[in-house]
Structure formats: C-alpha cells, structure tokens
Amino acid sequence: MANAQALSMRATTVGLGLLLLAGCEGVIEGPLQPGVAPGAPGSGGAGGGTTVACVVTAGPATAARVRRLTRAELDATFSQLLAQPLTPSTSFPIDTSSGGYTNQADHLQVTQEFADKLNVAAETMATLAVTNLASLLPCTSTGDEVCARAFINDFVKKAYRREVTAEERAGLFAVYQAGRAGADFKAGIGLMLQVVFQSPNFLFRTELGAAAVAGAAPTQLTLDEIAAELAYLVTGAPPDATLSAAADLTSPDGREREVLRLMKTPQARRQVSAFFSQWLGIDRLEKLDKDTTVFPLFSPALASSMRRETSAFVEDVVFASDGTLRTLFTANYSFIDASLAKVYAVAAPASFGKVTLDGTQRAGLLTHASVLATWAQRDLSSPVQRGKQVRTRIFCQPIAPPPPGVSLVLPSTNPTAATTTRARFEQHTSSGSCVGCHKFMDPIGFGFENYDGIGQHRITENGVAVDASGELTFTDSNGPFTGAVALGQKLGNSAEVRACFTRNWFQFALARSNTNAEHCNIAATFERFQKGEAGVRDVVVAVVRSEEFTHRLAQRN
C-alpha cells in the first residue's frame, strides 16, 4: 500500500489569468471566452479590452498517472463484481474535494486510515463472495485446482480490469493453496480474494500507455486503460463485457459508439446526476445543519427528497429532453414528493413524480430547494453565499476569502424589529473593507431573497415586503433582474455560463484542473455546446472523442 500511495501525484495548480478589482483584496477571474482579453465588454472584465488570437495547441496536457478509485467507484466496482448492491466504503475517510470534485487524481491518496478500512472491507467482501460462490465461478467442478485457476483467469481479470499476468496467476494460486490447506476450496478462494481486493491492481486505475517513459512523446493508452477510463467516466463503474471486448477504442467513432450504448444505462443517468451534484455543491446536502425552530419542515428525510428531486430533474432534462443548460435553468417542472410539496406549497402528488410548477416562482435548478438550502445559512438565507456560488460555480469567476480581521457575523436579530435579511446584509457590507468584494456577490444573491433558508417561497419577511431585485455585472449577461427565475433565464442564454460548464465538465472528466492556456482547446472540444447548439450528452461524447482522453504525457517520475 505504501508503494501505491506514493504513486498519487501532487496537485496541479490552476494557472488562471486573474483580474484584480479595485477596492477588493480578493480577486475575480478574468474572461472565459477564448479570443477576448481581460476588460473586453461582455468578457467578464472591467471594460476596454481587446480581442486576441485563440490558438489551439496540439497534443495532450494530462500526465501519465495512476488513479485511486473513489469511494463511489469502489462501491460500484464491488457491486458489479459480486452482482449485488454494496456500499463497503461508507466507513472510509471522505474523499478530498478539489475544485468542487472528489475524483481529482492528485488528491486521491491512501492514508493509513484508508488502508485499515480497505483491509476490513476486503475481508468482508471476500466472505460475502464465498457465500454465493457458485454464481461467481466460471466452472461447475468446484473444489479442484482447475476450477481455482479458471476463477483467477476470469474473476481477477474483471477485478484488475486487464489480463492477469502469468506471475500474478502463480502468486494468487499460491495464496489459494495456503488458504485451502487444512480447510476447503471456499477458504482458499476467500483468502485469495482478500489479497485481490487490497491489491494496487484493484484499487488503482492506470493511465500509463505502452511507452510512458521519461522523455518519450505522448503515449496512447492501452485498450484496457481506455475501456476503464470510459466506463468509470460514463457509468462510474468498471467496463462491462461488451466494452472490455471492444477492439476499436483507439478510434473516436469506436469510443462514441460505446458511450452512446452506455448512456442508455441507469448507471449513466446516476453518473451525470453525480456530476451536477458536485458542480452545484449539493453533494453535502444531507449533512446540512438547519435550525428546526426556524425551519420546522427541515429534516434528513426532507434533505433526501431535495436531492432526489434534483437528480430526477437533471436526468429527465439530459436524457429525455434537449439536455441544454437553457432548459436546466428555465424549465417550470420538477419531480417532488409529499414532503417537498409542503416546501413548495403545492398539492401533494400521490407519489414521487413529475409536476408542473408555478413558473413565476419555480423554474430550473436555481429554484430547487436542494440548491437554495445548500446555498444558505443555518437559520436564514444568505445573499452572500448564493451570489458567490453563481459567480464562482456558474461563471467560473473565483473570489478570494475575506481578508484577516473582517467580521463575518451579521448584526444580531431583534425579534421585534421589522427588518429583512437583505437589509441586515446591506448594513453589514456597505462600508469598510467589505465593499470591494461584496459588490460582486451580493447584487446577485439579493435576487434569491424570495426564498428562505430551505427554499420556501416568500413575498414578505418579518412583515416587510421582500426586495428580490438583483444585478449581474462583469459577465456577458449584465443588467438588472428580479428574482431567481429571471436570473435563470439570463444564465440559460449565457455563452460564458456554457463555457464555464464545459470547463467544469472537462475537470470532472479528466480528473484534473485545467489551466488558462487550455481555454482554447476546451472551447474547440466543446464548440457546438458552447455555441448553444448541443446538450449535455454531446459534451460527454465530445470529451471521449478527444485526443486528450486517450493520450498522456510521459510520467515525470
């Protein structure tokens, strides 16, 4: 395990061109549109920029590497191998999030705690496997050496996601023999499986190619490596038999064929939903701590319903509709149950299902309770958090943390005072060192004030009319708006939002951050989507067809 841990690479620094904003000690990122220099009108800059050439560079930027399976990938791998739903990683340490995503290769290390938990899981999974061994064996003559060797050739090939070498077969057979000595066939297989499930060959995915040596030209991944990369990206699980047998994965058309096939599976729907969950930051929804004296409807069960709604909505738009960001940000329907019906103040459906919502109150992802509750505080809404999330996650314009010494505590609430959350935030951030940064977050966040801290719609707060007017600045969609529905319409038509989305998908797909120098390459890869001519499914296909997906730079160590 120590050797496997050493293979985890250091994080890649996001080399972005940053535009310093007057009066703000933090920074906000410059333009996302290739070919536009900082400060160009509509570029995300401050005005007065110039057009620059956009040059697509040749060759991949991803280094040859090994990638540890994430917790979710481990669960999916065990489930597929043992042909039953399994979640052995629930006790594992939480995967480190980088850039909002938990699959980033440089951050997936094997700590001592992780190794200890894997040891326990390996024993548990091995015991479970031998209790149903007949369904896993490729032979009927159980109990003999021939069958044990056949099991190694068949099952371990699936576990390692490649052919098993002669040396590996010999070593695993020796472990089988040691386990069987003084016991029986199942004991031998069980001990051998414990070794397999803790092997780096099982825990790590390689992206080394056949000739990834120092000083070598970019190398193409092997067929097994491409199959594994494609399967885990599209389904979050190992390759199935059809993909493992595919012989034309070095061809973009061959990869596209397999992507389109796999996209029809339930696993692909869940994988797309998982991406959106991390992109929007709602993957921590069930861990939210809400004050139930302020929000009596909130509970862990309601949080699960919120997540279920967003997952079902995303899957419906992506797989049953046009899959565009415009629809994701503007559709006036969703999927709810009785508990969410109370939050939305609509008639409860007979069971979880699709409903049409009041389009003046609810339209698209920004008005989902999952997003509104996550982008809020424990006991109230949060214009700052909501505005910052739109700025950073939707427009890819990071804002630095507040400078040291700045008070983050709002003025205390006076129960008898007729005031609103907006008024309190305006009082807190309207002067001093707070002004510089908050002017880029709060005007956006104020547009969400028609929703409380768990997403319930409101027109008054403490007896005072809510002001949900907001404004977008430093984007390609500048201008005033009122309410999150109107904001969603702006975002749904924004080229910068589409560009940001593709950068996020690129990071998720390749499990690494991307740099400012890659903006032109990313734009070229996802050209149709960035023009508004394609949906999310086309984004998946585009990255899998790219050379970046199948080639790696020589390993630096």
- Extract the tokens encoding 46: 């401050």
Q: CA separation (Å) from 158 to 107, 155, 221?
A: 25, 5, 18
Position 49 scores a pLDDT of: 34
Q: How far apart are CA 446 and CA 426, in angstroms?
A: 10
Residues paired with 98 in a beta bridge: 101
DSSP 26: S
List the beta bridge partners of residue 234.
none
User: Are residues 479 and 495 in contact, defined by beta-carbon separation less than 8 angstroms?
Assistant: no
Between these two residues, 415 and 337, which has the higher pLDDT value?
337
Beta strands at 27-29 and 18-20: parallel, antiparallel or unpaired: antiparallel
pLDDT digits (tens, 9 = 90+) for 120-134: 999 999 999 999 999
Q: Would you place residue 55 in the very low, low, confident or very high pLDDT band (cuts 50, 70, 90)?
A: confident
Name the average pLDDT for the chain. Answer: 87
**Among 98, 45, 100, 48, which residue's Cα sits nearest to residue 440?**
45
SS3 214: coil
Cα–Cα distance measured from residue 148 to residue 136, given in angstroms and rounded to the nearest whole number: 12
DSSP 312-327: HHHHHHHHHS---HHH
pLDDT digits (tens, 9 = 90+) for 436-463: 678 889 999 999 999 999 999 999 999 9
As a whole number of Å, the end-to-end CA separation of the chain is 18
- Please check the confidence at residue 50 and state whether its pLDDT lies above 70: no
Which whole number is the average pLDDT over 282-286?
92
436 neighbors 442 (Cβ within 8 angstroms)? no
Q: CB 382: neighbour CB atoms within 10 A?
A: 21
Q: Does position 30 have pLDDT exceeding 70, yes or no?
A: no
Note the pLDDT tens digit of each residue in 500-552.
999 999 999 999 998 888 889 899 999 999 999 999 999 999 999 999 999 99
CA distances from residue 70 to 77, 120, 386, 490 in whole angstroms, order as listed? 10, 17, 29, 35
List pLDDT tens digits, range 249-264: 999 999 999 999 999 9
- The rounded Cα 422 to chain-centroid distance in angstroms is 31
Position 119: which residue type?
N
pLDDT of amino acid 335: 98
CA distance 385 to 444: 10
Asked whether the predicted pLDDT for residue 9 surpasses 90, the reply is no
Q: What's 543's DSSP letter?
A: H
